[in-house]
Chains A and B, each alone.
Chain A
Amino acid sequence: MEQDTIRQVLEIAIYSGRVMLENGAETYRVEETINRICASQNIHVESFVIPTGIFVSYNHEAKDYSYVRRIRNIHIDLEAIGMVNDFSRNFVAGKIPLDDAKAKLDQIRYAPRFSAPLVILFGGLSGGFFTLLFGGTFFEFIAAFLVSLGVMTASTIMTKKSKSSFMRNLVGGIVNGMLALFSVATLVFFGITANIDMIIIGSIMPLVPGVAITNAIRDLIYGDYVAGMSKLSEALLVAAAIAIGVGIVLQLNLLISGGLYVY
């Protein structure tokens, strides 16, 4: 086989794996996609995927080819995962020529997403409804919705400004704590009793790493121990960042007002 063709196939395979991984696909799905795309062109590679990188190696006529791709900035985008899944199925079936593959993947990678205001609005709504789901009152629902809007806005801005998920969630936690305190104070001012825990439990939901920890354990059960452990540490770190953010605000409130509105 031509060396150029091998290189091209490997690059397509790794690129599709990369788009999947950056959009939060499961580890085994990424490895399978890479292997299947290569195998469809009679290239039998060995691939190893962890959340922060992709490693692929291939041996052909006593020559070794190896690729390392560092992956950063993972978010969850389920539409992109589905599209790459379709792409790999069509590619394996021979419906997509090798030369068009790169453009197709670019198209998926830069496909339009929901606009930021829409995501903030619905993320906020979701936060409000979580408060209701966990037994909050109507006024707590309204408060949680508004707090959650603030948290989503802060988190969206921080995603653009900073690559570190720790900083992003720290700021999210601080905003959450301050707005929750403020909303409880406002409600109390109008003579309505509200529980700050109920407001926080809903509005913190868009930040909290629930899916991350479930995916971590899913990877561990599948036998992807390195991927699982790294996702687990990410989840713990994110939870710690949020807790530090909220904790700072609550402790400051304790110092300044003696724990008004909280206990």
Chain B
Amino acid sequence: MYIKAFIIATMCVIGFSFIFNLPRRVLLHSGIAGAFGWVAYTYFLNTFSSTIAAALIGALVVGLLGEILARIMKMPATTFVIPGIIPLVPGYGLYYSMLKIIERNYQQALNVGFESLLIALGIAAGVIISTSMGKLINRRRKVIPQTDRH
């Protein structure tokens, strides 16, 4: 089941990479990073049954893989992280909550809307933690300081 999800998620991320104009040579890398994130997300969703914690861990996996790939491929980590978090990201929840407002179902709109915001918070936190970890490794190796301030 996880293998099937892995393949499908890879295809989703690669498709999105075309929208984000990713360089051709890293299309597959970002797809695989995103797929690992999605598998981690589904696994922890099944164990913890908390979407927000699962999204945080999924984004953390994507972010760490992104940091590693960034060093191998010599590109900013964002190149892998932005397409990689696409399957986790709560865009549909946001749209759904707006649709419920139009249908005057305010209770459900609030529920879904707040959950979407918290999922986005979880993903943002996961990405920021991975970026900070990347910085720590950089400092230890005394490479040229990165542009980022965190």
Contact = CB atoms under 8 A, between A and B. Distances in A.
Interface size class of A (residues with CB under 8 A): 35 or more
Contacts of B148: 28-29, 32
Interface in B81-139: 82-83, 85-87, 89-92, 94-99, 101-103, 116-117, 120-121, 123-125, 127-128
Nearest to A239: B94
B128 A214 contact: no
A98 to B, nearest CB: 20
Interface string A47-88: 000000000000000000000000000001111111001001
A127 B91 CA distance: 13
Contact of B98 (A81, A127, A201, A239): A239
B71 interface: no
Contact of B99 (A114, A130, A210, A243): A243
A218 B147 contact: no
A230 B78 CA distance: 21
A80 B79 CA distance: 10
Contacts, number: 169
Contact of A214 (B14, B38, B75, B123): B123
B45 to A, nearest CB: 13
B53 interface: no
Contacts of A218: 124, 127-128
B95 A243 contact: yes
A242 interface: yes
Contacts of A81: 76, 78-79
Interface string A212-248: 0111111001100000000000011001101110110
A105 interface: no
B89 A211 contact: yes
A133 B5 contact: yes
B86 A211 contact: yes
A132 B134 CA distance: 33
Nearest to B87: A133
A213 B116 contact: yes
A76 B20 contact: yes
Given A36-B147, A78-B82, A133-B87, A205 B92 contact: yes
Interface string A111-136: 00110001100111111011011000
A78 B94 contact: no
A204 interface: yes
A88 B146 CA distance: 11
B20 A82 contact: no
Contact of B21 (A78, A129, A216): A78
A210 B18 contact: no
Contacts of B121: 217
A122 B15 contact: yes
A126 B78 contact: no
A256 to B, nearest CB: 17
Nearest to A76: B20
Given A26-B78, A29-B147, A213 B19 contact: no
Given A239-B98, A243-B101, A208 B91 contact: yes
A79 B21 contact: yes
A82 B16 CA distance: 17
B28 interface: no
Given A211-B86, A214-B120, A243 B98 contact: yes
Interface of B: 5, 8-9, 11-23, 38, 75-76, 78-79, 82-83, 85-87, 89-92, 94-99, 101-103, 116-117, 120-121, 123-125, 127-128, 144, 147-150
Interface of A: 25-26, 28-29, 32-33, 36, 76-82, 85, 88-89, 113-114, 118-119, 122-127, 129-130, 132-133, 201, 204-206, 208-211, 213-218, 221-222, 235-236, 239-240, 242-244, 246-247
Given A132-B8, A214-B127, 12 more contacts: A28-B148, A79-B22, A81-B79, A126-B19, A205-B91, A208-B95, A210-B120, A214-B124, A235-B94, A240-B98, A243-B96, A243-B99
